[in-house]
Amino acid sequence: MNRAVLVTHKIVTCLVLIACMAGLATADDSFSRLKLSRAGVGTPLPSFELSTIDGKTIEFSQLHGKVVVLNFWATWCGPCKEEMPALDRLSRQFDPRDVAILTITTEHERTGIQQFMKQFHSTLPVLLDEQRDVTLAFMVRGLPTTVFIAKNGTVAGRAVGPREWDGPDAIGFIQHLCEIAP
């Protein structure tokens, strides 16, 4: 009888490991299909505070325990215009208590920023990085750049250029990040 229990335990353990590996493979597949970069992965989120276009202040320390998607963009950026509607739709796929999707711009012309967001019917928060501190901290060199932050506050991946952010790969990648304990 003990041998049967031991064999059953080994089989169950193997099945659990296979299921876990399948979950990791799915997340890794999404990572690959989205063409995310591992540059900076594991780096802690820098501590910073930015104002929104509405005058509110967002401190990154408030976001600990959430998956955070940071999208760096500009009103003059053609690819940014291409992906903004998908980011807005993506934001509606997740509970804001679990996932924060924030847009960051270094531009100073608030009227132009507001018109841009209105043109794309976007309700995403716009953070103003007028001194470029956050943009430099994340080594943003091209626009759009999207950075994923895991619930533990570390970089989980980044993309330069537009993506289909409301597609199944992006949703699956974010769901995977949500499932990982902080």
Active site residues: 77, 80
| Cβ–Cβ under 8 Å, residues 29 and 89 | no
Dihedral, CA of residue 82, residue 52, residue 133 and residue 149, to nearest 10? -70
Instruction: Tell me the three state secondary structure of residue 165.
Output: coil
Cα–Cα nearest to 58, from 71, 45, 48: 48
Q: What share of the chain is helix, strand, coil (3-state, %, to 5)?
A: 40, 20, 35
Q: Which DSSP state fits 60? A: G
Cα–Cα nearest to 98, from 20, 170, 42, 174: 174
Dihedral, CA of residue 107, residue 109, residue 113 and residue 118, to nearest 10? 180
Cα–Cα nearest to 94, from 182, 165, 20: 165
In the structure encoding, which two tokens stand for residue 32, read together?
A: 């690959």
